[in-house]
């Protein structure tokens, strides 16, 4: 059974991060929010497996202790 | 020619009960001659239970109201002996179009599953629906069945007693009292019966309003379902266009909760909206305009002693998904055979508690689906709107996003999982037809499975022998053998056998699966019948 992969998985992480931030350049807050929503939906569909999506929904909630 | 909803179909006649010295007792009194009350009455009459239906007017309802009927309710109408008239008159559509803002984002074809007698659903005005049920009542009367609709009669008070219910009925000639062993309240969303008994709703409550219009059009609009999210002519809300028989088009414009109903209904406000929707050149005549207010909620229990609630009186949902009338028909489908067994003294009164279990399960499913549709159509927060708009934007070019678009999930029947009436299962058989599930239709020779079962406990041996009949302590069970070889398309095999060669199914009178096995055993069937009738 596959689990949500939270170990390093993206090759060239700096490039990906730069692409992500660049994608939002010049967008208003509302346009950025809409972009993020479309991105999440596209990625979620690619993953597909409900169990992994549920784990991701949970994992995204967790914040480092003391920041709350 | 006057319209059907202007014609008195069951005018007031003085009943002998009004001149009786003491209140006359009837086995069952039904309040309300809407779709659900009429279906309850017909079902009872088919079971030879005398029934009196009391209705405050004498006509079918005005305006189209509930217009979409799904496959399962059509199968119930077949069991009630009147499915053909509905389907013959109705409109079937295949193609749906979805619009967002000013553009069409995609269209879809329903592609209904093969191997069913009835279509996925039909469109038909509620007034025709009620008219055809009244025809069926009249046919049953002609056969000598004791079914009576008392028009222009209003139930003014309800007095529940230990072993019956006493009601007062107001008529144009004064009031009289009547007793029922049982009372079924099918008196709609505003149910006076519910108020008389001091009962209320629980659960999530939200309110919305719809402007609902029936429009007669000359133009040749295609037979399609058009749904708009946030269109220019109804900003931040939704709109729906649906074809009905007789060139009547149904338009639903969502209005939100904070509106002036009288103002919205005025033709000078309605017509510009319709023109914006249909095009400036569209020639149409407004037949009916109404504001429909709904709340999404249900009663805590549908059975209160000898008073049983069914349909909108017990639960209400948004119109998205056509879950109102459709679920109401499934209520009485579930209730009447149980009531018959209790009236005959072969099942305990507690069997009726399973009506609560099974139909509350159905109501909760409907409320959940209807709430989800409402949240998609009218997002309740900023982020909810952001995701909704993202889904709609993606749906235009990406097929994956289309199943996320929720303009109403069409009513499908509940599977009564966990019901105390469910008996043995063999989990190697297909999950779709497990105990608690409604019959899944399939061709059987020149016939349909749905037409071969119902109104009685029915054993079906697929590729194996079962006895032609069996008496289980007063409950009659009929048996028949069918063969999966006759169905060359393999629907019966796929739906009922899966990888197995044979199976035995026990169906309840409402065509739900009670239990199933690989092989016939009389003892196992007796146990299942006792479980399904609350005698275990």
Tell me B499's DSSP state.
Answer: T
Q: Which two tokens stand for residue B277?
A: 């929707």
Looking up residue B525, the CATH number of its domain turns out to be 3.40.30.120
B70 pLDDT higher than 50: yes
Cα distance between residue B109 and residue B107, in whole Å: 7
* A38 contacts on B by Cβ (under 8 Å): 390, 393-394
pLDDT digits (tens, 9 = 90+) for B258-278: 888 889 888 888 998 889 888
**Per-residue model confidence (pLDDT) at position B1:** 44
**Residue B469, domain extent:** 431-532
Query: Do B360 and B439 share a domain, yes or no?
Result: no
User: For residue B443, what are the β-bridge partners?
Assistant: B448
Cα distance between residue B208 and residue B68, in whole Å: 20
Query: Do B455 and B344 share a domain, yes or no?
Result: no
Q: A41 vs B404: CB contact, 8 Å cut-off?
A: yes
Query: Do B356 and B456 share a domain, yes or no?
Result: no
Buried-state track B304-315, b at ≥16 Cβ within 10 A, e below 16: bebbbbbbbbbb
Q: B390 vs A45: CB contact, 8 Å cut-off?
A: no
Query: Do B182 and B323 share a domain, yes or no?
Result: yes
**Per-residue model confidence (pLDDT) at position B296:** 85
Query: Do B326 and B471 share a domain, yes or no?
Result: no
CB contact at 8 A, B526 and B520: no
Query: Do B350 and B435 share a domain, yes or no?
Result: no
Q: β-strands B24-31, B51-54: how paired?
A: parallel
The residue among B319, B341, B365 that closes a domain is B365
Q: Which residue of B383, B387, B393 is the best one to mutate when testing the A interface, meaning the one whose CB has the most A CBs within 10 A?
A: B387
pLDDT digits (tens, 9 = 90+) for B171-229: 999 999 999 999 999 999 999 999 999 998 876 667 788 899 999 987 677 888 999 99
The residue among B348, B365, B382 that closes a domain is B365
Q: B390 vs A41: CB contact, 8 Å cut-off?
A: yes
CB contact at 8 A, B165 and B306: yes
Q: Taking the alpha carbons of B151, B45, B336, B167 in that order, is the dihedral positive or negative?
A: positive
**Per-residue model confidence (pLDDT) at position B410:** 83
Q: Is residue B58 domain-resident?
A: yes
Looking up residue B49, the CATH number of its domain turns out to be 3.50.50.60
* A37 contacts on B by Cβ (under 8 Å): 386-387, 389-390
Q: How many helices (H) and strands (E) does chain B have?
A: 13, 27
Which residue among B389, B393, B400 places its CB closest to the CB of A45? B400
CA nearest B392 in A: which residue?
A38
Q: Is residue B374 domain-resident?
A: no
Provide the 10 A C-beta neighbour count for residue B418.
10
Query: Do B69 and B194 share a domain, yes or no?
Result: yes
Provide the 10 A C-beta neighbour count for residue B446.
6
Query: Do B85 and B166 share a domain, yes or no?
Result: yes
**Per-residue model confidence (pLDDT) at position B261:** 87
CB contact at 8 A, B177 and B23: yes
* A33 contacts on B by Cβ (under 8 Å): 383, 386
**Per-residue model confidence (pLDDT) at position B129:** 94
CA nearest A37 in B: which residue?
B387
Q: Taking the alpha carbons of B401, B406, B411, B414 in that order, is the dihedral positive or negative?
A: positive
Cα distance between residue A19 and residue B31, in whole Å: 66
Which residue among A37, A42, A45 places its CB closest to the CB of B387? A37
Q: Is residue B219 domain-resident?
A: no
Q: Is this prediction's ipTM beyond 0.90?
A: yes
User: For residue B211, what are the β-bridge partners?
Assistant: B253, B291
Query: Do B327 and B437 share a domain, yes or no?
Result: no
Q: Is residue B399 domain-resident?
A: no
Q: Is residue B377 domain-resident?
A: no
Query: Do B347 and B452 share a domain, yes or no?
Result: no
Q: Which two tokens stand for residue B130?
A: 């009620």
Note whether A45 contacts B: Cβ–Cβ < 8 A: yes
What percentage of chain B exceeds 70 in pLDDT?
A: 99
Provide the 10 A C-beta neighbour count for residue B388.
22
Q: Is residue B512 domain-resident?
A: yes
B502 pLDDT higher than 80: yes
CA nearest B403 in A: which residue?
A45
| Count of domains observed in chain B | 2
CB contact at 8 A, B325 and B73: yes
The residue among B365, B384, B403 that closes a domain is B365
CB contact at 8 A, B133 and B42: yes
Which residue among A33, A38, A40 places its CB closest to the CB of B393? A38
């Amino acid at each position: 059974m596959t689990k949500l992969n939270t170990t390093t998985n993206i090759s060239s992480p700096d490039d990906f991060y730069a692409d992500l931030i660049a994608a939002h350049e010049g967008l208003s807050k509302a346009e950025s929010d809409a972009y993020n929503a479309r991105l999440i939906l596209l990625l979620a569909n690619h993953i597909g497996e409900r169990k992994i999506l549920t784990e991701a929904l949970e994992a995204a909630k967790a914040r480092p202790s003391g920041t709350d | 020619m006057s319209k059907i909803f202007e014609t008195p179909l069951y005018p007031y006649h003085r009943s002998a009960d009004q001149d009786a010295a003491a209140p006359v007792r009837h086995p069952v009194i039904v309040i309300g001659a809407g779709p659900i009350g009429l279906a309850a009455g017909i079902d009872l009459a088919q079971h030879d239970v005398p029934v009196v239906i009391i209705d405050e007017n004498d006509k079918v309802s005005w305006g189209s109201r509930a217009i979409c009927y799904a496959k399962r309710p059509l199968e119930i109408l077949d069991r009630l002996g009147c499915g053909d008239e509905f389907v013959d008159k109705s409109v079937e559509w295949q193609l749906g179009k979805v619009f967002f803002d000013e553009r069409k984002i995609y269209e879809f074809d329903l592609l209904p599953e093969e191997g069913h007698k009835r279509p996925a659903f039909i469109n038909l005005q509620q007034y025709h629906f009620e008219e055809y049920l009244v025809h069926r009542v009249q046919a049953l009367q002609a056969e000598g069945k004791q079914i009576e609709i008392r028009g222009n009669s209003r139930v003014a008070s309800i007095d529940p007693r230990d072993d019956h219910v006493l009601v007062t009925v107001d008529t144009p000639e004064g009031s009289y009292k009547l007793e029922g062993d049982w009372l079924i309240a099918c008196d709609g969303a505003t149910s006076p019966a519910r108020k008389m008994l001091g009962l209320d709703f629980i659960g999530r409550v939200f309110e919305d309003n719809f402007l609902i219009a029936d429009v007669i059009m000359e133009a040749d609009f295609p037979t399609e379902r058009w749904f708009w999210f946030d269109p220019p002519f109804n900003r931040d809300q939704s709109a729906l266009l649906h074809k009905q028989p007789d060139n009547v088009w149904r338009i639903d414009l969502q209005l939100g909760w904070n509106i002036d109903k009288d103002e919205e209904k005025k033709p000078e406000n309605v017509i510009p909206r319709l023109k914006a929707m249909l095009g400036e050149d569209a020639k149409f005549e407004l037949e009916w305009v109404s504001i429909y207010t709904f709340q999404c909620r249900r009663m805590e229990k549908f059975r209160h002693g000898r008073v049983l609630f069914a349909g909108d009186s017990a639960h209400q949902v948004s119109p998205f998904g056509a879950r109102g009338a459709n679920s109401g028909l499934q209520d009485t489908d579930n209730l009447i055979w149980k009531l018959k067994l209790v009236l005959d003294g072969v099942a305990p009164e507690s069997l009726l508690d399973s009506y609560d279990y099974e139909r509350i399960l159905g109501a909760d499913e409907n409320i959940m689906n209807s709430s989800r549709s409402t949240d998609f159509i009218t997002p309740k927060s900023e982020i909810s709107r952001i995701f909704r708009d993202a889904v709609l934007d993606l749906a235009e070019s990406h097929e994956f996003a289309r199943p996320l678009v929720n303009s109403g999930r069409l009513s499908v029947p509940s599977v009564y999982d966990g019901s105390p009436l469910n008996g043995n299962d063999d989990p190697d058989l297909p999950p779709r037809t497990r105990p608690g599930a409604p019959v899944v239709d399939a061709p059987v020779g020149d016939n349909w499975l749905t037409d071969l079962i119902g109104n009685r406990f029915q054993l079906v041996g697929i590729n194996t022998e079962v006895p032609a009949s069996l008496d289980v302590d007063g409950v009659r069970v009929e048996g028949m053998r069918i063969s999966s070889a006759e169905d060359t398309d393999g629907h019966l095999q796929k739906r009922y056998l899966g990888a197995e060669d044979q199976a035995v199914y026990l169906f309840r009178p409402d065509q739900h699966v009670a239990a199933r096995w690989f092989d016939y055993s009389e003892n196992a069937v007796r146990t299942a019948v006792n479980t399904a009738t609350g005698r275990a």
